Amino acid sequence: MFIIGSYTLAVAFCIVTMLCWGSWANTQKLAATSWRFELFYWDYVIGIVVFALLFGLTAGSAGATGRGMVADLAQADWPNIGSALLGGVLFNAANILLVASIAIAGMSVAFPTGIGLALVIGVVVNYLDRPEGNATLLFGGTLLVAAAILLNAYAYRRAGTGQKDTPTKGLVLAIVAGCLMGLFYKYVANSMFEDFEVPVPGKLSPYSAVFVFSLGILASNFLFNTLLMRYPFDGPPVSFGDYFRGGSRDHLMGVLGGVIWCLGMSFSILASDEAGPAISYGLGQGATIVAAVWGIYVWREFAGAPAGTGMVLNGMLACYLVGLGLIVAAG
């Protein structure tokens, strides 16, 4: 199987992760305006599973290093399979709650609260579980990225893109989503053998772990998304009949979104071998700022914002870039 052989390449893979995780939501914007997120989300999950399977059968089964994915899955112990599945369930619950929070409280509340909390929890949890890298630089960089996320929230508030009143339900959903999002990565990392060049009996390869993780997302989606369709936090209920009435563009956009996200997840897991889970996860969660750049320069979300908003956005990008540099230097 293909593995990363240097820290520099691992950082490059983390940057791809950040770009993917910060960009996949554009596919939802490109879908039909009447296409509800609950319906889009089914195709998004399908895209994750399909990419994880194909990536494992190709890059995860090529070459003489490690174990091919099929053989790896056949020898895996159930506790390790269960750990990767649990990671998928936790991620799916977090992702759906985060989207519900955005619908209720707006991006200015949901993203800083949810993703900012996930970044801090994720870096701390993964570092304590597998302490790799300079702790001072790692946590200093994490704090700067968190500061960038807060500046992003302030810019949204100034521009009036978020709601002025924060419903308690939306804030609670964002907090719960952030806690779950910060925990899922650890369970996927714990299901794998640490040195990807030396397979360990009973443990999963990174490719197998991502595939099992995707199955956890798919299985839990039949519960989480079905409930959300029937009892949405915002808007009227939708049915499976609505899903099958969607156009080919709607479905393709959802699958593409899942593929983009899973590419980022796969690269993050592969990078964790050289960079360590804490650094790999921390760099990936810089996706919030990538999403902000899309909003600023492509979707023009800050057009007509009050004077001074540009300075806030510049400060956000500066904090992010310095924080990113510290996280990279921590390795």
57: its two tokens: 């059968």
The span from the CA of 269 to the CA of 276, in Å, is 9
Please give the DSSP secondary-structure letter assigned to residue 83: H
Question: Is residue 194 classed exposed, middle or buried when 0-12, 13-18 and 19+ CB atoms within 10 A define those classes?
Answer: middle
Q: Which pLDDT score, from 0 to 100, does residue 160 have?
A: 62
Please give the DSSP secondary-structure letter assigned to residue 204: B
- The predicted model gives 179-208 an average pLDDT of 92
pLDDT tens digits along 98-126: 877 766 765 555 666 777 778 788 888 88
Structural domain that includes position 52: 7-329
Q: Are the CB atoms for 77 and 208 separated by under 8 Å?
A: no
- Min mean pLDDT across 67-76, 139-148, 215-224 is at 139-148
Residues 269, 29, 170: CA angle, nearest 5 degrees: 75
Residue 321 placed within a domain? yes
**Torsion sign, CA atoms 269, 270, 276, 280:** negative
Question: Is residue 33 classed exposed, middle or buried when 0-12, 13-18 and 19+ CB atoms within 10 A define those classes?
Answer: exposed
Number of domains in the chain: 1
Q: Is the pLDDT reported for residue 252 higher than 70?
A: yes
Instruction: Map tokens 């540009």 to a residue.
Output: 310
112: its two tokens: 């800083």
Backbone angles phi, psi at 239, to 5 degrees: -120, 170
Higher pLDDT pick, 126 / 134: 134
Residue 2 placed within a domain? no
Residue 252 placed within a domain? yes
Residue 247 placed within a domain? yes
Please give the DSSP secondary-structure letter assigned to residue 23: H
62: its two tokens: 């090529």
pLDDT tens digits along 58-109: 999 998 888 999 999 999 999 999 999 999 999 999 988 887 776 676 555 5
Q: Which pLDDT score, from 0 to 100, does residue 119 have?
A: 78
Q: Which pLDDT score, from 0 to 100, does residue 107 have?
A: 58
Q: Which pLDDT score, from 0 to 100, does residue 263 have?
A: 97
Residue 93 placed within a domain? yes
Residue 283 placed within a domain? yes
Question: Is residue 14 classed exposed, middle or buried when 0-12, 13-18 and 19+ CB atoms within 10 A define those classes?
Answer: buried
288: its two tokens: 């919030």
Residue 262 placed within a domain? yes
Question: Is residue 329 classed exposed, middle or buried when 0-12, 13-18 and 19+ CB atoms within 10 A define those classes?
Answer: middle
- Min mean pLDDT across 130-144, 151-165, 284-298 is at 151-165
Q: Name, in order, each residue with C-beta under 8 angstroms of 59's C-beta and a sequence gap of 6 or more.
A: 1, 2, 207
Residue 80 placed within a domain? yes
**Concatenated DSSP letters of 168-196:** HHHHHHHHHHHHHHTTHHHHHHHTB-SST
